[in-house]
Amino acid sequence: MERKTVKLQDLPVDTFTDSQAFEYIESTHGQVVTINPEMISCAKTNESLKNIIENAELVIPDGIGVEIGLKILGYNVRRIAGIAFAHKLLEASVKNCQRVALIGSKPEVITKAVENLKAEIPGINIIYVRDGYFKDDDKVLSEIKEMQPEVILAALGSPKQEEFIYNAKKLLPNAIMIGVGGSFDVWSGCVERAPEIYQKIGLEWLYRTVKEPKRFKRIFPTLPLFVINVLKEKWGIKC
Ligand code: UDP
């Protein structure tokens, strides 16, 4: 399957459907970036993140913000929820006999998430678990190199998780790795995902912001600024 990316704010975004994206990464392996407006805004000043996104094997549009941005530019690409995509990778790891590593979130969160995932996905082979508050990246990298997991989920927040995965990719070129943000918090039961109706209409962000008002600062002004920047891009006005 050929990759077809489009440019959004000078960054590549894949135009695959959910199932095509899944099939693609299962065959190529490598780094999956779940791109959102916050990450796009960060990459404007963070050259290293920009380089990581440009070199990722798959960049999926995670959320309504990126879907709207692409629509403004004339691309009809459906969003792919990173949390659901990562869960599907875990389910597939059983039939593919892949070893799994889960890295990130608070110690009590990751412990509970592992317990819940083992109950939900019988046969899942989790061989490495580490909370996300480590100081020494090299130590964790050398531990996973030794354990040789084939599917790695990193929940360290962005851009930390993207940087971690980029370095891990050099050691484990055949693994599938994805940054999953707050997914372990949801899987542990500590944070609730928005009801399906909010997910369907693209308002999961609004539900989460109402539930967790401290997220407001992260979304505003990033989200409206992102839309303004994409409009400038469409009209050829230099940002
Ligand atoms: N996190 C971590 N180490 C850090 C910073 C954050 O493990 O140094 C974890 C945090 O506990 C949370 C996850 O990263 O589980 C994602 O955080 P955030 O709320 O930034 O993610 P979002 O879902 O908004 O991308």
Distances in Å between the Cα of 162 and the Cα atoms of 16, 32, 88, 193, 197 are 21, 9, 20, 23, 30
pLDDT in tens, 67-76: 999 999 999 9
The alpha carbon of 236 and the centre of ligand 1 are apart by a number of angstroms equal to 35
Average pLDDT, whole number, for the chain? Answer: 96
CB of 156 within 6 A of ligand 1: the answer is: yes
Burial class (CB in 10 A: 0-12, 13-18, 19+), 151: buried
pLDDT grade for 218, boundaries at 50, 70 and 90? confident
The predicted structure's pLDDT at residue 195: 94
DSSP secondary structure letter of residue 123: T
Percent of the chain with pLDDT over 90: 88
User: Ligand 1 mean position to 134 CA, how many Å?
Assistant: 13
CB of 82 within 6 A of ligand 1: the answer is no
Here the tokens at position 227 are 């839309």
**Is 219 a pocket residue for ligand 1 (Cβ < 6 Å)?**
no
Domains in the chain, ordered, with CATH?
Answer: 1-80+200-239 (no CATH), 96-191 (3.40.50.2300)
**Where is 61: in which H helix or E strand?**
strand 58-61
- Compute, in degrees rounded to 10, the torsion defined by CA atoms 43, 209, 220, 197: 80
pLDDT digits (tens, 9 = 90+) for 18-62: 999 999 999 999 999 999 999 999 999 999 999 999 999 999 999
Ligand 1 in reach of 182 Cβ (< 6 A): yes
Q: What is the pLDDT of residues 181-217, one digit of tens each?
A: 999 999 999 998 899 999 999 899 889 888 888 888 8
What pLDDT is stored for residue 215 in this prediction? 84
Distances in whole angstroms, Cα of residue 189 to Cα of each of 115, 116, 165: 11, 9, 25
Span from the CA of 131 to the centroid of ligand 1 (angstroms): 11
Of all protein residues, the one whose alpha carbon is nearest to atom 15 of ligand 1 is 105
Taking the centre of ligand 1 as the mean of its atom positions, its distance from the CA of residue 34, in whole angstroms, is 14
**Beta carbons within 10 angstroms of residue 186's beta carbon:** 20
What pLDDT, on the 0 to 100 scale, is given for residue 217? 82
pLDDT of residue 21: 98
What burial class does residue 235 get, using C-beta atoms within 10 Å of its C-beta: 0-12 exposed, 13-18 middle, 19+ buried? exposed
Atom of ligand 1 nearest to the CA of 185: 15
E strand or H helix that includes residue 170? helix 160-171
Average pLDDT over residues 140-158: 98
Cα gap 159→149, rounded to integer Å: 22
**Residue 37 beta carbon below 6 angstroms from any ligand 1 atom:** no
* pLDDT range class, residue 239, cuts 50, 70, 90: low
